[in-house]
Chains A and B, each alone.
Chain A
Amino acid sequence: MEVSSAEAALSVSASSIRITDVTQDGDVLTFALTSQKLDSSAGVCVFRIYEDFDWLQQSLFSQENLPGLQGIIFPPLPSKALPSQSNTQTKALKQLGFLALGQDWQSYCKALEFYLQQVAAHPTLCKCKALDSFLFNSESPGKQRGRKGIFNRLSQAVEEMRKESHKDVDNFFQNERNKNTNLAALSKVATEKLLDVVMTEQKLALACGHFSTSLHLCVNQDDASAVAFSKVCLKLSDVIEAVKRNLEKVASNNLSTLGLGLDLESRYQEAEKEMLFRRTCKLIELETVKKGTEKAKANKREVLEAFQKAVEKEFNLISSVAKQEIERFHSSHVNVLKNFLIGWCEVQLNTAKEFAELYSQHLEACRNMYSE
């Protein structure tokens, strides 16, 4: 992802941003974060907790004097992870989906990493001072509980639903809204279905483990035939153990590539949805103002017309920013998915090769042993 900015001195190399470590202390996860400024070869390492990320996001939302801010598709921040014991896996899954799985919060860290990279790569957002503080201040900036941004998460109130389906004045945007609604729903479903697959793979691996252990317990040295039978059981136990490792690897591959990718895609579609909704709300506001102006009595009309002009200007700005954002989003989402698909395919191919080799070795060994 390229970074292009006039203020190079303040800019960070997006691709250099890494979350290198995570530690857990009770309920709190602390992330170790390294990044590099564009004009420097030295990396900077800082420690952040989730509240810091949230502060960054809110800061981005609440930037002032940024025309058409509402037309920006903000990179989606994953929900807060709650690692406490009382949180069952089902709760965690519901909340975080794929990001809850995997060892040691690897997926979750990756998702946070992507978030920062996308913010740093965004032509407008990368200029935000908050990003700089976030990445380079040794002091955690989140200590200041900033005011909540003007944008809240898209609520599900009936009121909002009605607004969401408000007819657009622009075909381009109407199309985009329709497509986005569709894609957001479909990618969410695909993500959930893949999650089901991964969970089942893990369950199957567990069942293999149990079977393998049971076989191992069948060892009996009473007499020659018992010994022979025990050997066979142990062999089968080894084979099933290999099958278990195979499944675990396949599940982890799915999780760390395609799962992560679909999760990101799904959340990004939601982010676009939120942007489009903000614009639609502005449109409704504009139309309401227009109606008000038309009905106004002569003495109030001038004021209202001035106000209407202002709203219209805002709306047009938002729309033009939105158009750019949409185009940018379309090309980057293709690229992102492409990379995930390639990564997924490569890692599954390697696993298949690895285990084809392993099973063949076992087969060869058995054939030799048993033909004696």
Chain B
Amino acid sequence: ISSSSNGPKAEPMLLDHDPDDLFAEATEEVSLDSPERQMILSDGPSPAITPVTINPRADVFDLSFVSHENRDTFDIQISVSDPEKVGDGMNAYMAYKVTTKTSLSIFSRDEVCVKRRFSDFLGLHSKLASKYMHIGYIVPPAPEKSIVGQRLGRRSSAVTELDPDAKACLCCRYLLRTVKQPALLKDPDVLQFLESSELPRAVSTQALSGAGILRMVNKAADAVNKMTIKMNESDAWFEEKQQQFENLDVQLRKLHASVESLVFHRKELSVNTASFAKSAAMLGNSEDHTALSRALSQLAEVEEKIDQLHQDQACADFYLISELLGDYVRLITAVKGVFDQRMKTWAKCQDAQVMLQRKREAEAKLQHANKPDKLQQAKDEIREWEGKVQQGERDFEQISKNIRREVGRFEKDRVKDFRVVIIKYLESLVHTQQQLIKYWEAFLPEAKAIA
């Protein structure tokens, strides 16, 4: 928990059961079987990702959640802190301290602290994406330096290159989103990332960084476009959802650009307030009349304090709202990715069916050709492709099921995350006003004392 007194106070969020959870009774068959996985995969309420403190001057970004799920309670606290430069010159990089505190049994210790560099995060994401995206899991997007893709609005983002603190916060939110996904929490790569002191250097992190994901998504989209047979969407749900996500994507990007403008102007206000404070101080120093001079100096001090409030509020604007929107823009990309994966899976299934048909036709022809070994081979091939068709159909069913569940989870989380942010933001607003009241009440007698 941050010890800074400047940021708004915050409490960890406690979330309750969601009796209306549509998928509470769904039981999943997953291709990677493990009875433990099954239990974790059954849906319960999932917690929201929320920054507990938003003061970047604090060393620790403590983002935590507590969730009550079925009869089990599991809690995990992750913080990413102490960005420090390691090495120099061309090989220099930023290393972060990742601290995990948990009571979950899958972890070997209650508290573990490791050092990770930024590419390690990308490496983790790339592994997870390659394992889970194609079966329909929305894998949290890699912590990116900037919003991938097109930027709406003329103003180029004031925060495309994040400072180390903001990056640490981003990485932390990434980890939290990852672990709160039941399947991913148990993944050995995730556990290794959080626990082992040495991590093999992720070499091909280019492969599935955010840009990499986008490339993969684009490739899938291309594959979809190249399909000669348009997918018969037997399930209107998918079509509707895809459209909704398209709309949401556009809306979120617009909102994000809007907030960036807000942050920018707030910072400008801080600069101007500081400048005014200085000029008031100089005026106070030159004034002969003692009480007036004193009052003017107090005015300057009040304005300096107000400047500080502006800076804090700009942080709130940024970390609470701007980053939330940014996260969701990135998440939508991941969501769109899974939908495209489903299309790809369907295409594969179709291809298998076509191939099976061809093999059957070939076999039929060979029936009358009296070539027994070729016939046998043909029969073998038919069996093989029958198997592939069945597998393809299973895969398609599976990914469709997974996506439905994942989308439901995403939509619930979305509401929770935004709600938490609104509350935190209001808390910061209330705090600011209360500080202002203090400052003005202190200044009033000074002004009245001018004789």
Nearest 9 A/B pairs, CB to CB: A356-B433, A225-B411, A349-B440, A193-B276, A338-B450, A341-B447, A352-B436, A363-B426, A204-B265
* Among A197, A229, A338, A356, residue most surrounded by chain B Cβ atoms (within 10 Å): A197
CB contacts (< 8 Å) of A342 on chain B: these are 444, 447-448
Interface residues on A, range: 35 or more
Per the 8 Å Cβ criterion, residues 200-250 of B in contact with A are 240, 244, 247
Per the 8 Å Cβ criterion, residues 84-99 of A in contact with B are none
Inter-chain CA distance A200–B251, complex, in Å, is: 27
CB contacts (< 8 Å) of B247 on chain A: these are 220
Q: Which of B62-70, B95-103, B142-150, B283-291 is the interface stretch?
A: B283-291
Is B261 engaged at the interface, CB distance under 8 Å to the other chain? yes
Chain B residues with a Cβ closer than 8 Å to the other chain, count: 60
**B283 contacts A183, CB within 8 Å?**
yes
- Determine which of A197, A203, A228, A346 lies in contact with B273 in the assembled complex, contact meaning CB atoms within 8 Å: A197
Is B258 engaged at the interface, CB distance under 8 Å to the other chain? yes
CB contacts (< 8 Å) of B437 on chain A: these are 349, 352-353, 356
- Determine which of B244, B280, B441 lies in contact with A226 in the assembled complex, contact meaning CB atoms within 8 Å: B244
**B259 contacts A211, CB within 8 Å?**
yes
Is A179 engaged at the interface, CB distance under 8 Å to the other chain? yes
**A217 contacts B251, CB within 8 Å?**
yes
Inter-chain CA distance A362–B268, complex, in Å, is: 27
Closest B residue by C-beta to A218: B251
- Determine which of B283, B291, B444 lies in contact with A345 in the assembled complex, contact meaning CB atoms within 8 Å: B444
**B265 contacts A370, CB within 8 Å?**
no
Per the 8 Å Cβ criterion, residues 323-338 of A in contact with B are 330, 334, 337-338
Chain B 261-282: CB-based contact to A (< 8 A → 1; otherwise 0): 1101110110011011011101
Q: Which of B25-33, B359-367, B393-401, B416-424 is the interface stretch?
A: B416-424
Known interface pairs A193-B275, A366-B426. Does A359 touch B433 (Cβ–Cβ under 8 Å)?
Answer: yes
Closest B residue by C-beta to A191: B279
CB contacts (< 8 Å) of B272 on chain A: these are 193, 196-197, 200
* Among B292, B419, B437, B448, residue most surrounded by chain A Cβ atoms (within 10 Å): B419
Closest B residue by C-beta to A189: B279
Is B427 engaged at the interface, CB distance under 8 Å to the other chain? yes
B309 nearest CB across to chain A (Å): 11
Known interface pairs A208-B262, A338-B447, A362-B426. Does A186 touch B286 (Cβ–Cβ under 8 Å)?
Answer: yes
Closest A residue by C-beta to B426: A363
- Determine which of B258, B411, B427 lies in contact with A211 in the assembled complex, contact meaning CB atoms within 8 Å: B258
**B423 contacts A190, CB within 8 Å?**
no
Known interface pairs A211-B262, A220-B244, A337-B292. Does A225 touch B415 (Cβ–Cβ under 8 Å)?
Answer: yes
Known interface pairs A182-B286, A197-B276, A225-B415. Does A232 touch B448 (Cβ–Cβ under 8 Å)?
Answer: no
Is B254 engaged at the interface, CB distance under 8 Å to the other chain? yes
